[in-house]
Structure 1
Amino acid sequence: MINVAGLHEFASRCTAVGVDVPEALKRGLELIQVANEHAEMPGPDDVLALSDDELRDRVEAISMRWHVTEGLGGNGLKVGQHNVTDELTQAIAREVVPELDSMVESLQPRFDELAAPLIAAARDYGFTFDTTSDDVIELADEGAAAAWRALRRAWTAIAPLVTFRTSMSKLFDLGPTMDDVRAHYFPRSPGMTTPNYSVLFAAGDNWSIDTGYYVEGKTRGHLDWLALARDGIQMNTPTVVESKLNSRRQVRLPAPEAPSQPLGVRRAVRAGQAYPSISSD
């Protein structure tokens, strides 16, 4: 199920990177707020000031809102609130998922411009994740020093775009997911607990469903951007990512026929809907 807090966060990230928040997302969040408020019943400022009829009305309203519905669990309008919220989040996904490709495409030129220093640092000077400032100083090359400084600025610049693109896949259940990992390594995955998101930013075949292009940290890992940059990086649309994932499935698995619908849409169908959850991890 899509997380409502995640939808709010995604809307904020849209604004942060300069893309329009989809209308379906804005309206859906407004309706969720209406449902939340309707399920609550604030008390009067002074119960003793109520008239007899007002008190009777309040007894009935509280009873309606908090009665236990047999077979459904929960209390009164809370049951409806939860069900309506689920319906709204699925409706938001149905409307927004088809817009995600164009949202990513609108950001690609900016991403390419901001990420260019990463590619230059990796290709022209051979910088890697293990390169240090001392290594750069020892080169005694002003071009290398300038590339090093540009590299650090570039990462700061593209980080919001990377977070936006990664959160898109997480929120709308788009590839790569743990289902993709398990499908690739059927019947068991190699101890992974989160997907490797290198495929979201690989210009070519320079991505991994396993631990390639990934650096393990003390608390959590992150993508190895310089390893990715050697063969090119770009911000891929969900459709491109699904195509890349399908290419690996076809090569390594006797996988079932690849559905034509985006992964998040397919999962919504399987859930019973009529149509279809920085470091850089």
Structure 2
Amino acid sequence: MGHAVLAEGLRKRFDKNWALDGFDLAVPTGTVCGLLGPNGAGKTTAVRILATLLRLDGGRAEVAGHDVVREAPAVRRQVALNGQQSTVDDVLTGKENLVMWGRLYHLSKRQAEARADELLEQFGLTDAADKRAKQYSGGMRRRLDLASSFVMRPSVLFLDEPTTGLDPRNRGEVWREVKRVVAEGTTVLLTTQYLDEADQLADQIVVMDTGRVAAQGTPDQLKSKLGGDRIEVVVRNADELPVVADVLGPDAEVDPDTFRVSAAVADRVAALTRVTSALAARGVEAEDIALRRPTLDDVFLAITGHKAVSEVQA
């Protein structure tokens, strides 16, 4: 398959601080890699280096088979970057926005218009082609923004928090478009503050912390590091917490703020039946009892010690 993005020992310093300090990355062609990390982990810095917008201070990187330093122009011809700030011009219509980008890429007027029509159809915006972008919903604007990244059919697409600020429905629309372009062969490197987004889209996840890789693997591989299923019991009164902890066993974890007790289980249904019966026998009426699997939020917190947050500057 080969690698569309390859980085070895990347280092980047701002003043006395190392934003990247030995960062490694390998993204197979035609896949989605989710880049996660707390504020300041180095995600955006890594993307900017790989997109040739920043020069590295150490290490090496290749994108689409070209060295990002020695062959920067060749890299730029193969990639597109869709950042946190929209490139949509509100005064222009959807089609005019795409034609403008085509002309900036030196397409003829006829070629630019033909490509704009193709993209409007692919991204479900044909009916809004002649509307000014300021009339678009948030999801439509983001899809138009993504469409502009595909004017020249990039082999590698860098998405830097593509759905920040969108509601769940509009996020879902963007996810569908990302899946579609990947199915057509584009490789995507995605940074996101939404762990469910990485879970939905990423074939591979790389968790960054302090400029290095803290963990990597598929979503299921990362979740498996935290063990299997857990049973959670929520009670009404704090004085019931010790009783529940005793029922769940020596490894039970108690959260007094939420009146919640949890523990790992191996037998799911049998454990649920056993715990329910034991609590009833000891006079505890639980507010809620549930089984759940580890989430990427759990993984992220366990690995970095931080909850996922949007980074302003990494």
TM over 0.5: no
TM range (shorter): under 0.3
The structure carrying a bigger strand percent of its residues is 2
Q: Provide TM-score, normalisation by structure 2.
A: 0.23
- Give the structure-1-normalised TM-score: 0.24
